[in-house]
Amino acid sequence: MRKPIPTVSASEILLAFDYGARRIGVATANRRTCTASPMKAIRNRADVPWPEIDALIEQWQPAALLVGLPGGGDNAAISAAAEEFAQALARRYSLPVTTVDETLTSRAARSELNMARRDGLMTRRIKRTDVDSLAACLIAEQWLRAQ
């Protein structure tokens, strides 16, 4: 007799965002298993790509959202834009939004992807969207470890 596949409660799902001027990396995380997975990167335009984010919120029904905030003086403009994005998410979806220090996550993501290519685990060329979605995943993992 087969056991039923356990369902994941919406209260266990989080979406993480790596906000950037050109792309927004997205990852999903599960509080129960303390795991995160990169999903995709959404092209960021002059206006926030709400239809694409709306679709993700509808699909995943997350309990909360995470937004990476870059640290350091050189990142003041993008940090302010990421903070504004986090506030807009909270207003639009009425979900808890937590900001997470994401200093160097994009570099760590690129390094991790380069190692995967070197080890033969990734055979195709690394795309910027790969870096952005993995950076969002690292933001989620960082938050999960801190809990």
At residue 7, does pLDDT exceed 60? no
Q: Average per-residue pLDDT in the chain?
A: 85
In a domain, 2, yes or no: no
In a domain, 6, yes or no: no
Q: Mind giving me the DSSP string for 77-101? A: HHHHHHHHHHHHHHHHH---EEEEE
In a domain, 139, yes or no: yes
Residue span of the structural domain in which 137 resides: 11-146
Closest CA to 68 of 27, 99, 107, 29: 99
Indicate the pLDDT class of residue 67, thresholds 50, 70 and 90. very high
What's the average model confidence in pLDDT over 34-59?
A: 94
10, 13, 16, 22 alpha-carbon torsion, rounded to 10°? -50
Indicate the pLDDT class of residue 77, thresholds 50, 70 and 90. confident
At residue 139, does pLDDT exceed 60? yes
pLDDT single digits (tens) 104-119 = 677 777 777 667 667 7
Q: How many domains does the chain have?
A: 1
Q: In terms of pLDDT, which residue wins out, 125 or 133?
A: 133
What's the average model confidence in pLDDT over 134-139?
A: 90
Contact between 21 and 120 (Cβ < 8 Å): no
Contact between 68 and 98 (Cβ < 8 Å): no
For residue 83, the domain's CATH number is 3.30.420.140
**Does the global pTM surpass 0.75?**
yes
